Structure 1
Amino acid sequence: MEFKTLANIDVEELLEVFNLSFSDYVVPFHLTKEMLTSKIAAEKLDLTISVGAFEDGKLVSFILQSEKLENGQKIIYNGGTGVVPGNRGQGLVRKMYDFIIPVLKERQANVLLLEVIEGNSGAIRAYENLGFTVVRKLLCFKGNINSGIGNSHITIKDMHTFQWDNLRSFWDIEPSWQGSVYVLNPMPDTYKTLGAYSDEKLVGYIVYNPDTRRVLQIAVHKNYRKQGIGSGLFTAIADGQPIAINNVDDTSKEAGAFLDKKIGLKNWLSQFEMKRSI
């Protein structure tokens, strides 16, 4: 077995192994080449710090990773780990980390970060054995948006400029990697952002991907809550199709109740965010 970065990997080969690895996952899913390419770009995954296990020159396992600097720490995010069924039980995830961690140390990386589905007890134990600990629980919602909700006294229009210091002041919880400022700045062309305005003052906003029907961020100014602004933003993106919002920190009971009771989405899946120091 040979371990090396994915710097020179062919996307078609990665796609084949990705889909085979997740074909029998807790939540099975299948990507097209375009979807995988979009995921790599959207999550700013860096194949030069991603790692693969190769058997007889063929990729059989991988860890896709990205890197950001935040609050003086260099964080390495695991955007997906996969092992094809025929090569499981060989400790390949540990061996891939054993290979890549010295590389990350040379880059002065400080923290490893990942997400794992709550019901995937085998993966959770494996990551705990690698030194990861759970830092928070993240809730995933999906469904159809309730109709006829919102605030008729606000104006909703496209946003094209992002003063992140101001937008951060709307937050109660920190977004997960996919919705982080690092990923959204600059805003990907495939994403759309709507702002809610009261007398020309921005009082709420929503960032979503119309292609995947997924909300990346939604927030309302603390002084303008419970006035139908968040509901109005969801109504503005409703077109009769189901929508999803992933990785809502479960410590925000207000956000969970809003998405469930007010918007009509259901918490269909939960994940743990896990970290370890390098």
Structure 2
Amino acid sequence: MEFKTLTHTTIDELLTVFNLSFSDYIVPFHLTKEMLISKMAAEKLDMDLSVGAFENGQLIGFILQAEKTENGEKVIYNGGTGVVPEGRGKGLVRKMYDFIIPVLKERNASVLLLEVIEGNQKAIRAYENLGFKIMRRLLCFNGIIHPEEEQASICIRELEDFQCEKFRSFWDIEPSWQGSAYVLDPVPEGFVTLGAYPGENLAGYVIYNPSAKKVHQIAVDPEHRRQGIGTQLFNAVRKRNEGQPVSLNNVDEISVSTSQFLSEKVGLTNWLSQFEMKKAI
């Protein structure tokens, strides 16, 4: 068995192993090549920081990773771990981390970050045995947006850039990796940012990925809440989405008002929950 970075691994090879690894996952799913490329670009996953387990030269397991510096800490995010069925039971996840952690330390990384589905007790225990600790519970929503009557007093305009400080002033909760300012600033190509204006000033915004039908961020100025800003933003997404289902992942459960808004006003369902886990290295 050999462990090395995925620097020289092709997307086609990774795609085959990715889909085989997740074919019997707690939530089975299958990616096309285009979807995998989009995921890696959207989450800023880096093959040079990612690690693979190779048996007789063939990839049989992987950890896809990205890197950011925040509050003086270099954080390494695990954007996906997979091992093909016949490679399980050999401790490959631990061995891949054993290989890559010294490499990450050389880059002055200090924190490992990942998300794991709440019901995946086997994975949770495995990560806890590796030293990861649960930091918070994240709620995932999906469904068809309830149609709302347009309010003429609220103007929805497309924004051209990520107004980091302005947007951040609207937040009650810190986004997870996929919705973080690091990933969305600048806004990735193909994403749409819509702003809500009840007057001259921006009072709320949403960042939406039409190809994935996913809302990555939505926030409303605390001084303009309960005035229909959020529903009008989702209404604008619904029109662009032609009424098809959308998803919004990893809402921190401490924001009860956000969860209630998404379920009661927007019509989305909390179909899945995840734990965000961290480990200091």
TM range (shorter): over 0.9
1:267 aligns to what? 270
Q: Of the candidates 247, 250, 255, which is equivalent to residue 253 of structure 2?
A: 250
Give 2:41's aligned amino acid.
A
Instruction: Give structure 1 stretches of 5+ with no counterpart.
Output: none
CA distance in 2, matches of 1:165, 1:277: 28
Matched with 1:241 is 244
The residue that corresponds to 1:139 in the other structure is 139
Alignment of 1:88-167 (within 5 A): 88-149=88-149, 151-167=151-167
Partners in 2 of 1:149 and 1:72 — Cα distance? Answer: 46
> Per-residue deviation at 1:210?
0.5
Q: Deviations over 1:37-96 (max 9, x none)?
A: 111111100110100000000000000000000000000000000000001000000000
**Distance in structure 2 (CA, Å) of the matches to 1:3 and 1:252:** 41
1:107-146 deviations in Å (ceiling 9; x for gaps): 0001000000000000000000000000000000000111
Q: Which residue of 1 aligns with 2:59?
A: 59
Give me the TM-score of the superposition, normalised by structure 2: 0.98
For normalisation by structure 1, the TM-score amounts to: 0.99
Q: Does 1:86 align with 2:83?
A: no
Off by >6 Å, runs of 4+ in structure 1: none
Distance 1:169 1:123 in 2: 35
- Tell me what 1:221 maps to: 221
Q: Deviations over 1:170-226 (max 9, x none)?
A: 000001101101001111111001000122210000001001110000000010000
Task: Write out aligned runs for 1:59-78 (5 A).
Answer: 59-78=59-78
CA distance in 2: counterparts of 1:150 and 1:177, whole angstroms: 32
Aligned to 1:179: 179
Partner SS for 1:201? coil
Cα distance between partner residues in 1 of 2:163 and 2:111 = 27
Aligned partners of 1:113 and 1:273 also within 8 Å: yes
C-alpha distance in structure 1 between counterparts of 2:191 and 2:76, whole Å? 24
Matches of 2:148 and 2:71, distance apart in 1? 42
Conservation of the 8 A alpha-carbon contact between 2:161 and 2:187: no
Are the aligned partners of 1:150 and 1:233 in contact in 2 as well (CA < 8 Å)? Answer: no
Q: Could you say what secondary structure the match of 1:153 adopts?
A: coil
Q: Write the distance in 1 (CA, Å) between the matches of 2:160 and 2:170.
A: 18
Tell me the secondary structure at the aligned position of residue 248 of structure 1.
strand
Q: How many aligned residue pairs are there?
A: 278
1: distance between equivalents of 2:105 and 2:128? 20
- Amino acid in the other structure paired with 1:275: K
Does the Cα contact within 8 Å between 2:177 and 2:183 map onto a contact in 1? yes
* Alignment correspondent of 1:49: 49
SS of the residue 1:202 aligns to: coil
Q: Please, which runs of 5 or more residues in structure 2 have no aligned partner? A: none
CA distance in 1 between partners of 2:115 and 2:97 (Å): 16
1:192 aligns with: 192
